[in-house]
């Protein structure tokens, strides 16, 4: 059926809206609508295109998620070669001065001639890409390859949300935009962490991960890697007037909706280049992505043409490098560190090496399985990477035959910090100390968790104060918190960051008030691995008393609703440690009283028993946490996502994708008034 005029106009409007909002979100970092609202617009466009396939255009935002698995990459002959630029390896100010001197010499300028104007940019550590737009629509994306020919990677590049599928206000017959595909450091770290959790190979650095994503034959896999892009130049151009300066060109690309990095400057002469190089060197660690230098370009295109090329490199541009972020050094030994959450991490002891702007003598090896995959052993020459403020890591060994046999490293069976048993969950990759509350390495984290609002709710006990109390030796265990009410404790508090008497009194009162709590809150406060608020409530409801929980066998724990083997083992292991049981007894001694009851004897009505709810949107009078508390008190459960097992979705204003999912699955949707009515005992 031919689409109506209304459908045609609505599809065009939605394409424009979605492109504009994507640009604001991914390029300008200034979103105007919530993700859920964007999803609604996206789904509307999908529905129109599904009903009227003839309205599906190549530049539609819905086409970012399409694409079948490729048999291989087709070769692409570049209309204009993608040439490299010369690198200046002198990382001092002399490198910038030398480039300016060469340019002046090639132009035949006298010593007293005016300074040359340059554009200064960042040298991104990613993969060069050529984007071909025809009449404003992206039709092809190709890798650099050997400079003359590359590979057609269009389906993968279309998955990068920052790259517009249609340019704004540009209808040139041909406009080729060149730039760099890269991975932000935080995205790279999350990607590697996911790989470790799945027991799969990790990536050496963001550049390798980005290059690997671009060259995936399956676009769906490429889309799972959060790639980004910066534009920095042109290829073939037909029917578009190129600006007279490079800086104006970058401004024009940005106006078309292409992401152009903001850390760029127009400077005068060698001194301007030097100042830019030094300024970016100071900012380098704070950048969200890796760079290995800066790029200087003569700003005037007329002067660029006059300077020309030498050995296929432009005389008018140079890359001024910074110290390398990867170096080789000797692995002297492997130690084990215990983190704040009890995780044991193998750490490489290295022959000190200067990398990423600092001297590194220790680097993480993450976990035993990654260490095995990398084949690293003591005595190897290894590659060390440090980028930004990321912890230095060993990314691999330099290939070569070992002169002597070196045994594999094994994780310890006892915690190096407290001598508690080290455990690894079945199927897990991390080794952990089972010491919990007793382990000094976990002390600060345990105290902060214990005092949290959803645990014992000790207002005023923040990170800074806990650091001071633990570092000064005032607090060594959780029961020590309640000794702060003594004269000696008050004096210690007053000495911490010069706390005022009023603040000290407020904290002491909060500690005193926390002594009367519920069993569920207390169990959650103990920080038992895998025991969140809901599980703590299930345990309290089932056993009714702390002693019954501590003495429960694995089989008895498995009888608790929604407690599986992993959680049961974690609870059992925690209370099998004598020092953890001792902490509970000491907390009982200082006066903590929890409301303990036999769950089977509880005769209070549970009108929502065995029913699962999902909350979405803003309710008129109830905060999300308050609604959750009321539902759970009435015997119901609150889940985070909608499924076929959901009984009711409670929807308020600006309800998002959960409401849509409920309607798709036929789940009942109610408002706050209906929920309150259901909470009344029958």
0.75 exceeded by pTM:
no
CATH number of the structural domain spanning residue 375: 2.40.50.140
**Residues 6+ positions from 119 with CB-CB distance below 8 Å:** 245, 246, 247, 250, 264, 265, 266, 296, 297, 298, 299
Q: What is the DSSP letter of 497?
A: G
What pLDDT does 66 receive?
46
What pLDDT does 656 receive?
77
Alpha-carbon torsion, ordered 454, 455, 458, 460, to 10 deg: -50
CATH number of the structural domain spanning residue 222: 3.30.470.30
Q: Based on the domain organization, do 286 and 351 belong to the same domain?
A: no
pLDDT at 542 over 60: yes
- Count of domains for the chain: 6
Specify if 74 maps to a domain: no
606-651 pLDDT, tens per residue?
A: 788 778 899 988 888 888 878 888 888 787 888 888 888 899 999 9
Specify if 253 maps to a domain: yes
Residue that is last in its domain, among 321, 351, 378 = 321
48-60 pLDDT, tens per residue?
A: 888 888 888 877 8
Stretch 547-566: mean pLDDT: 91
pLDDT at 96 over 80: yes
Maximum Cα–Cα distance across the chain: 98
CATH number of the structural domain spanning residue 24: 1.10.287.610
In 590-680, alpha helices (H): 624-633, 657-665, 672-679
Which string of b and e fits 422-431 if b means at least 16 CB within 10 Å? bbebeeeebb
Other CB atoms closer than 10 Å to residue 202's CB: what's the count? Answer: 18
pLDDT at 16 over 90: no
Question: Between residues 362 and 633, which one has the greater pLDDT?
Answer: 362
What pLDDT does 70 receive?
53
Lay out the sheet containing 637-639: strands in order across: 637-639, 612-616, 648-651, 668-670
pLDDT band, very low/low/confident/very high, at 102 (cuts 50, 70, 90): very high
pLDDT band, very low/low/confident/very high, at 599 (cuts 50, 70, 90): very low
Specify if 525 maps to a domain: yes
Residue that is last in its domain, among 551, 572, 601 = 601
Other CB atoms closer than 10 Å to residue 491's CB: what's the count? Answer: 13
Least confident of 34-43, 335-344, 600-609: 600-609
What pLDDT does 241 receive?
95
Q: Based on the domain organization, do 94 and 243 belong to the same domain?
A: yes
What DSSP line would sit under 32-65, residue for residue?
Answer: -S-HHHHHHHHHHHHHHHHH-GGG--TT-GGGGG
Stretch 120-129: mean pLDDT: 93
Q: Based on the domain organization, do 46 and 95 belong to the same domain?
A: no
Q: Based on the domain organization, do 284 and 245 belong to the same domain?
A: yes
**Of the ranges 221-230, 354-363, 520-529, the best mean pLDDT one:** 520-529
pLDDT at 428 over 90: no
Specify if 381 maps to a domain: yes
Rounded mean pLDDT of the chain?
87
399-418 pLDDT, tens per residue?
A: 887 878 888 899 999 999 88
Q: Based on the domain organization, do 246 and 372 belong to the same domain?
A: no
Q: Based on the domain organization, do 669 and 542 belong to the same domain?
A: no
470-523 pLDDT, tens per residue?
A: 888 898 889 999 999 888 888 888 888 677 788 888 899 999 999 999 999 999
pLDDT band, very low/low/confident/very high, at 71 (cuts 50, 70, 90): low
Q: Which token pair is 613? A: 């709810």
d(CA 119, CA 295): 8
Q: Based on the domain organization, do 107 and 241 belong to the same domain?
A: yes
Specify if 78 maps to a domain: no
State in Å, rounded, how far the first CA of the chain is from the last one.
54
pLDDT at 331 over 80: yes
The domain of 34 spans 5-65
Q: Catalytic residue at 483?
A: no
pLDDT band, very low/low/confident/very high, at 596 (cuts 50, 70, 90): low
What pLDDT does 25 receive?
67
CATH number of the structural domain spanning residue 564: 1.10.150.20
Residue that is last in its domain, among 375, 397, 419 = 397
Q: Over 150-198, what HEC string results?
A: EEECHHHHCCCCCCCCECCCCCCCEEEEEEEEEECHHHHHHHHHHHHHC
Q: Which token pair is 85? A: 């630029």
Stretch 650-664: mean pLDDT: 84
Q: Based on the domain organization, do 342 and 482 belong to the same domain?
A: no
pLDDT band, very low/low/confident/very high, at 603 (cuts 50, 70, 90): very low
What DSSP line would sit under 521-569, residue for residue?
Answer: HHHHHTT-TT--HHHHHHHHHHH-SHHHHHT--HHHHHTSTT--HHHHH
Specify if 436 maps to a domain: no
Categorise residue 397: left if φ over 0, alpha if ψ from -120 to 50, beta otherwise. beta
pLDDT at 300 over 90: yes
269-290 pLDDT, tens per residue?
A: 999 999 999 999 888 888 889 8
Q: What percent of the chain has pLDDT over 90?
A: 39
Q: Which one from 123, 321, 537, 628 is the annotated catalytic residue?
A: 123
d(CA 426, CA 134): 55
Stretch 166-171: mean pLDDT: 92
pLDDT at 598 over 50: no
**Residues 6+ positions from 281 with CB-CB distance below 8 Å:** 322, 357
Q: What percent of the chain has pLDDT over 70?
A: 94
Specify if 445 maps to a domain: no
433-461 pLDDT, tens per residue?
A: 988 777 888 888 889 999 998 899 998 88
What pLDDT does 636 receive?
84
Q: Based on the domain organization, do 137 and 35 belong to the same domain?
A: no
pLDDT at 570 over 70: yes
Q: Based on the domain organization, do 110 and 257 belong to the same domain?
A: yes
Q: Based on the domain organization, do 316 and 456 belong to the same domain?
A: no
Stretch 366-371: mean pLDDT: 89
Specify if 527 maps to a domain: yes
What pLDDT does 15 receive?
84
Q: Based on the domain organization, do 137 and 193 belong to the same domain?
A: yes
d(CA 454, CA 444): 17
Categorise residue 64: left if φ over 0, alpha if ψ from -120 to 50, beta otherwise. alpha
């Amino acid at each position: 059926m031919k689409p109506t005029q209304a459908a045609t106009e609505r599809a065009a409007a939605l394409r424009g809206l979605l492109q504009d909002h994507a640009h604001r979100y991914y390029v300008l970092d200034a979103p105007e609508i919530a993700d859920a609202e964007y999803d609604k617009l996206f789904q509307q466009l999908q529905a129109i295109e599904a009903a009227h396939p003839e309205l599906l255009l190549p530049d539609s935002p819905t086409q970012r998620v399409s694409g079948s698995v490729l048999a291989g990459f087709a070769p692409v002959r570049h209309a204009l070669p993608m040439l490299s630029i010369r690198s200046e390896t002198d990382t001092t100010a002399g490198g910038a001065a030398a480039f300016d001197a060469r340019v002046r010499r090639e132009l035949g300028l006298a010593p007293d001639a005016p300074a040359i104007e340059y554009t200064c940019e960042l040298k991104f550590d990613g993969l060069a890409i050529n984007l071909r737009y025809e009449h404003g629509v992206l039709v092809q994306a190709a890798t650099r390859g050997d400079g003359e020919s590359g590979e057609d990677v269009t389906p993968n590049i279309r998955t990068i949300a920052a790259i517009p599928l249609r340019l704004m206000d540009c209808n040139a017959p041909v406009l080729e935009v060149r730039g760099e595909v890269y991975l932000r450091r935080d995205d790279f770290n999350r990607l590697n962490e996911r790989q470790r959790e799945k027991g799969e190979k990790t990536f050496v650095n963001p550049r390798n991960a980005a290059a690997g994503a671009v060259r995936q034959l399956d676009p769906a896999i490429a889309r799972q890697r959060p790639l980004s892009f910066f534009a920095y130049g042109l290829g073939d151009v037909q029917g578009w007037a190129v600006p007279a300066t490079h800086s104006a060109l970058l401004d024009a690309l940005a106006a078309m909706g292409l992401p152009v990095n903001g850390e760029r400057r127009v400077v005068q002469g060698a001194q301007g280049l030097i100042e830019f190089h030094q300024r970016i060197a100071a900012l380098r660690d704070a950048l969200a992505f890796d760079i290995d230098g800066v790029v200087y370009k003569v700003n005037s295109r007329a002067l660029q043409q006059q300077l020309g090329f030498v050995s296929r490199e432009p005389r008018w541009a140079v890359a001024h490098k910074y110290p390398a972020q990867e170096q080789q050094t000797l692995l002297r030994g492997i130690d084990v560190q215990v983190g704040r959450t009890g995780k044991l991490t193998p750490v490489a002891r290295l022959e000190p090496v200067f990398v990423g702007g600092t001297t590194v003598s220790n680097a993480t090896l993450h976990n035993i399985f990654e260490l095995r995959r990398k084949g690293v052993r003591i005595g190897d020459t290894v590659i060390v990477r440090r980028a930004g403020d990321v912890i230095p890591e060993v990314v691999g060994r330099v290939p070569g035959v070992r002169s002597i046999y070196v045994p594999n490293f094994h994780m310890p069976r006892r915690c190096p910090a407290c001598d508690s048993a080290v455990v690894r969950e079945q199927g897990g990759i991390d080794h952990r100390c089972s010491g919990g509350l007793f382990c000094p390495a976990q002390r600060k984290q345990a105290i902060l968790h214990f005092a949290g609002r959803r645990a014992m709710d000790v207002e005023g006990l923040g990170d800074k104060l806990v650091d001071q109390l633990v570092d000064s030796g005032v607090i060594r265990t959780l029961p020590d918190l309640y000794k702060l009410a003594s004269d000696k404790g008050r004096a210690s508090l007053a000495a911490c960051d010069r706390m005022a008497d009023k603040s000290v009194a407020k904290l002491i009162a909060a500690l005193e008030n926390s002594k009367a709590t519920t069993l569920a809150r207390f169990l959650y406060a103990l920080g038992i691995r895998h025991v969140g608020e809901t599980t703590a409530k299930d345990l309290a409801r089932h056993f009714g008393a702390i002693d019954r929980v501590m003495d429960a066998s694995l089989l008895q724990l498995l009888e608790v609703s929604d407690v599986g083997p992993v959680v049961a083992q974690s609870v059992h292991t925690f209370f099998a440690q004598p020092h953890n049981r001792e902490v509970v007894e000491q907390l009982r001694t200082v006066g903590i009283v929890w409301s303990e009851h036999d769950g089977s004897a509880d005769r209070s009505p549970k009108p929502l028993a065995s029913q699962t709810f999902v909350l979405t949107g803003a309710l008129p009078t109830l905060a999300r946490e308050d609604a959750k508390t009321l539902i759970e008190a009435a015997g119901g459960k609150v889940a985070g996502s909608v499924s076929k097992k959901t009984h009711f979705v409670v929807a308020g204003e600006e309800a998002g994708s959960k409401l849509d999912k409920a309607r798709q699955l036929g789940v009942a949707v109610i408002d706050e008034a209906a929920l309150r009515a259901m909470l009344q005992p029958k």
